[in-house]
Amino acid sequence: MSSSNAKAASGDEEAVSSVVNAFQQAWSSHDLDAREALFAPDADFVNVLGHRWKGRQVIQLNFAFLAGKAPADSAGVTLPKEAHGIFKTAAINFKQIDVRFLRPDVAVVHVESTLVGDTRTSNSRRSLLVMILTKEGGRWQIAVVQNTDINR
C-alpha cells in the first residue's frame, strides 16, 4: 500500500520499491558491495542502538563489522566489540513497504521487517525502518535510514 502527497513520475514508485528490495537482497546475501551501492555518498544510517553512521563508507564499514567481514579492531566502527559478526548468518525479510512521495525527487518509505540469524538469540527480531530516498541524475538512492526495534 502506498500513498502520495506529491506527484511522482511514472515508474518512480516501482523504482523506489526496487531499491528497498535490493537492500533486503543485499543484506540477506551478505553482498556488502551491492548494499553500499544503494546509498548516497553522504547518507546517514541510525541503527537500533542509536549509533549514527555518516557517509556511505562508514555505513559500509559498520555493516562489514556486524557481518564479521571487517576486523574486530577496525578504526571507525562505532559498535561495541562484542557485536562483531553477530549478523554473519542473518537474513532480513520485508513484510510491508509503504512509499510516499514528499516531492517528485524525495520519497519516504516505511518498512516492517523481520531479522533472523542474530547470533545472540534464536528469536527473530522485528523492526521498523524509515528510509528517505532521493533521486539524483535519474537514479534513486538511500539518503537516510532510521532502524527501530519493535518489542525487542
Domain count, the chain: 1
Calculate the alpha carbon distances from 44 to 3, 37, 141 in Å: 24, 14, 12
Q: Does the residue 4 lie in any domain?
A: no
Which structural domain range is residue 24 located in?
Answer: 12-150
Q: Does the residue 3 lie in any domain?
A: no
- CATH number for the domain spanning 19: value is 3.10.450.50
- pLDDT tens digits along 24-80: 999 999 999 999 999 999 999 999 989 999 999 999 999 999 999 999 888 889 889
- The predicted structure's pLDDT at residue 10: 85
- What predicted TM-score, i.e. pTM, was given to this entire model? 0.91
- pLDDT tens digits along 102-127: 999 999 999 999 999 999 989 999 99
